[in-house]
Chains A and B, each alone.
Chain A
Amino acid sequence: MSDKRVIRPYGDTTGDGMVQLSFTLPIPHDRRAEAAALQLAHTMGLDPAMVVHAHGVGPDFTFLVVYGRVNHLVNLADVNVPEREYELLSPKEVNLAIKSTLKRKLVVLGACIGTDAHTVGIDAILNVKGFAGEKGLEYYREIKVVNLGAQVFVPELVERARQERADAVLVSQVVTQREAHLHNTREMAAAFREAYPAGQRPLLVVGGPRFHESMADDLGVDRVFTRGTTPAEVASYLTHALLTTTRARSA
């Protein structure tokens, strides 16, 4: 679906290329500040540019609003949209998908394993309080969250996963030394492989700032999330992986 059009921003006439931007410069508000803003605008490709408003923010800063015409073009044929393997869903959509497909609550077990006492990551995803303005998985009516907290041993995690009949196990590793996060994760994956018949283990998801998304296969888990992941992304992924693919198991 290649679109051959070449486009510019639209102010009030096709092709006028008009944009607005606002920013702050770390200098007092005077003629020099406005001239500096115009120079920045020109460097950014705005020509002509005009400072339509400026005021001092305290003695050392100037806030500016600039309008101008950009001379850049966008060729739509060159625009690539990177695809997520799952669709981003709202909590309502996630709840509905679970209710209609699973016909029971989806059980998520969370923990920090090993010696890591930093539950920031797992709490950001699981606590109602959430992260980045999004509520955590506890907020989802159709998800039952069991958060084991920090310093959970792998055998305990596996045992609880069985007891709770967990559909997914989420593990976060924030502070790690000497690649301990990789070692711990492999140990966990191996333990689940041993404890469950093939194809029946819960979905294994790990997250933390030191992981890379491409590590999943190597670590023996289903998905890796990195820094900045929000609860909605995790919920959407779980919905995708557990309910809309061949992995879906009978309740």
Chain B
Amino acid sequence: MAPARSKLRLDPATVLTARRLADRAGRPIVELARTHTTISVERAVLRLAGLSGADPDGIPWVNRLTDAVRDDIGLEHGVALPVWDALRTGGHADLLELAQKAAAGSVTFALPTGRDRDRAASAARRAVAAGVRRIDRRRTERERLIRRIGDAPRSPWIYLIVATGDIYEDIPQAQAAAREGADVIAVIRSTGQSLLDYVPEGATREGYAGTYATQENFRLMRAALDDVSRDLGRYVRLTNYASGLCMPEIATLAGLERLDMMLNDSMYGILFRDINPIRTFVDQRFSRQVHARAGIIINTGEDNYLTTADAVDAAHTVTVSQLLNEYFAKEAGLADWQLGLGHAFEIDPDRPESFRLELAHALLARELFPDAPLKWMPPTRHMTGDIFRGYLLDGFFNLVGAMTGQGILLVGMMTEAVVTPFLSDRDLALRNVRYVLDAAGGLTEDFHPPADGFIATRARQVLAEAVDLLERIVDDTGDAPLLHAIANGTFGLMRRPADGGKGRDGVLAQGPTYYNPASELLEAEQ
């Protein structure tokens, strides 16, 4: 996949500078993430230890237990020590019984010390290690299935979305989409799930413009795709969203249920959902550690910037975000093959040379990240309801994907912004993709834009602008300049101060007694 040498004649020193600047911008954020925890990270620890289910009001037991600990002694010590101390000394059968009693108010949590502390820590570590082993087994299982059944026949992988709100409707639609040629199925989440501070339980049949991400829904869909994968002789991957207030928990559930890809952007929640920046970075680091362990490919959300800012003027912000996403991902233990860095075909088609600009931007991403399976996203902003023009635009989008060797191609629908896709829309969209890939799939070999031409020049210009922006970010004031940049509206035009946003009260500085067996286990491997 990596080109032997740069088609765009990118200056290796400039590329190195860009990466070093991204490291400098990201490092203070990682330091923040290492020294803080969040309520959702703590709940993920309990999920890894096997606690699941919800009370009669639908509030998950992990929430009830974490809240009970928080009420008694706060969360700056983590949940592990007080919970396993109570388990060890209180005569409770298991975590579930402890959670039920805690919810009823009949347990008082305390922070164990001395030998009690050590015993609680090793009990917690054992329980969490069982969950980590289960994630490991799921990863091995995926590798075995791909070996036995076969993998997607070619690159880019064809990525299709289903979203009915009802998991039992989603399943036949997803199976049909796989039969029609999809290599990856994404189940879109219900609107607003990212702002729920709990993960709903069970199979769900009602969602707004999407289906809730729950452990049971994950399990049902993965099983259904396993069936269809065997029929088709190729392993069909499943995608969901690790974003929003419960990112660490959803990442954990994805690992436990063998999801294959997860949307997981370093800044999306901050910018587009107004979630507290520190909460997002802490949650994100933990979730990426889980993804790294689970062999899950992350998909980042740079396409979103281009839906608010101009796709030409803001092209370099996409590059900056990709570099930051890469830094944060690698720091969390993800390998290149797991980085589905995002970008999108969103330039105004009425703009002269728009197609050449798209090629320049797409090729720049390809060359900057030669070993990453880039995620190429179709036009949405300039899809007007003129479905005939939309079909042509999608064809050009597919052509850029073929010419620049993208790794994951999200199939564009001509009815984007009109209706949820008809059955026939999806079929026509796949015919479009197949035609372009069959007709021009090998064009990457022949496509060598001249070094002094429009495309290479434009790509180098975007990279230079990205370096400029990164320099401005790292020269900003304070301990974590990136937080200032985010507060000042550098990305997606949104101003998000570090002390604002949703979920802020779920962020805590780790105390000297803090213990998290999950982080310890996940980091030990790196």
Contacts and interface: CB of A to CB of B under 8 A. Distances in A.
Interface string A131-163: 111010011010000010100000000000000
B308 interface: yes
B524 interface: no
A138 B494 contact: yes
Given A57-B423, A119-B192, A120-B192, A128 B380 contact: no
B208 interface: yes
A58 B274 contact: no
B417 interface: yes
A118 B192 contact: yes
B492 interface: yes
A58 B176 contact: yes
A128 B176 contact: no
Given A120-B192, A120-B208, A129-B272, A24 B424 contact: yes
Interface in B376-423: 380, 383, 416-417, 422-423
A79 to B, nearest CB: 21
Contacts of B274: 127, 138, 147
Interface residues of A, number: 24
A118 B308 CA distance: 25
A22 B424 contact: yes
Interface string A1-32: 00000000000000000000011100000000
Contact of A24 (B383, B422, B492, B493): B422
A123 interface: yes
Interface residues of B, number: 26
Interface in B144-195: 176, 179-180, 191-192, 195
B307 A135 contact: yes
Contacts of B486: none
B200 to A, nearest CB: 13
A63 B424 contact: yes
Given A127-B272, A128-B492, A129-B272, A139 B180 contact: no
Interface in B186-224: 191-192, 195, 208
A58 B195 CA distance: 38
A169 interface: no
| Chain A contact residues: helix, strand, loop or mixed | mixed
B273 interface: yes
Nearest to B193: A120
A138 B308 CA distance: 11
A129 B191 CA distance: 10
A139 B427 contact: no
A133 B383 CA distance: 9
B506 to A, nearest CB: 14
Contacts of A128: 271-272, 308, 492, 494
Contacts of A63: 424, 427-428
A232 interface: no
B43 interface: no
A220 B308 CA distance: 35
A124 interface: yes
Given A24-B422, A128-B272, A133-B417, A57 B191 contact: no
B502 interface: yes
B211 to A, nearest CB: 14
B520 to A, nearest CB: 34
A57 B421 CA distance: 14
A118 B212 CA distance: 14
Interface in B406-452: 416-417, 422-424, 427-428
Given A124-B191, A128-B494, A139-B308, A57 B424 contact: yes
Nearest to B381: A133
Contacts of A139: 308, 493
A139 B422 CA distance: 30
A115 B271 CA distance: 27
Contacts of B271: 128
A193 B58 CA distance: 38
B496 to A, nearest CB: 10
A12 B494 CA distance: 50
Contact of A57 (B308, B427, B492): B427
Nearest to B196: A117
A57 B431 CA distance: 11
A127 B208 contact: no
A58 B180 contact: yes
Contacts of B272: 127-129
A63 B429 CA distance: 13
Contacts of B208: 120
A249 B422 CA distance: 48
Nearest to B271: A128
A149 B191 contact: no
Given A58-B179, A120-B192, A135-B308, A129 B273 contact: yes
Nearest to B502: A149
Residue picked from A23, A127, A129, most chain B C-beta under 10 Å? A129
Contacts of A61: 423-424
Interface in B279-325: 307-308
Contacts of B307: 135
Contacts of B416: 133
A73 to B, nearest CB: 26
B486 to A, nearest CB: 14
A129 B244 CA distance: 13
A128 B304 CA distance: 10
B423 A127 contact: no
A61 B424 CA distance: 9
A116 to B, nearest CB: 12
Residue picked from A23, A61, A138, A147, most chain B C-beta under 10 Å? A138
Contacts of A131: 191
Contacts of A58: 176, 179-180, 427
A131 B191 CA distance: 9
Nearest to B380: A133
A120 B191 contact: yes
Nearest to B431: A55
A63 B430 CA distance: 14
Interface in A169-199: none
Contacts of B424: 22-24, 57, 61, 63
Residue picked from B274, B383, B416, B417, most chain A C-beta under 10 Å? B274
A124 B195 CA distance: 12
Contacts of A149: 195, 502
A131 B417 CA distance: 10
Contacts of A141: 493
8 contacts: A22-B424, A61-B423, A63-B427, A127-B273, A129-B273, A132-B417, A133-B383, A133-B417
A-B complex: 10 closest residue pairs judged by Cβ atoms: A133-B417, A120-B192, A57-B427, A63-B424, A24-B424, A129-B272, A128-B272, A120-B191, A120-B208, A24-B423
Given A22-B424, A58-B180, 18 more contacts: A24-B422, A24-B424, A61-B423, A61-B424, A119-B192, A120-B192, A123-B191, A127-B273, A128-B271, A128-B308, A128-B492, A128-B494, A131-B191, A135-B308, A138-B274, A138-B494, A149-B195, A149-B502
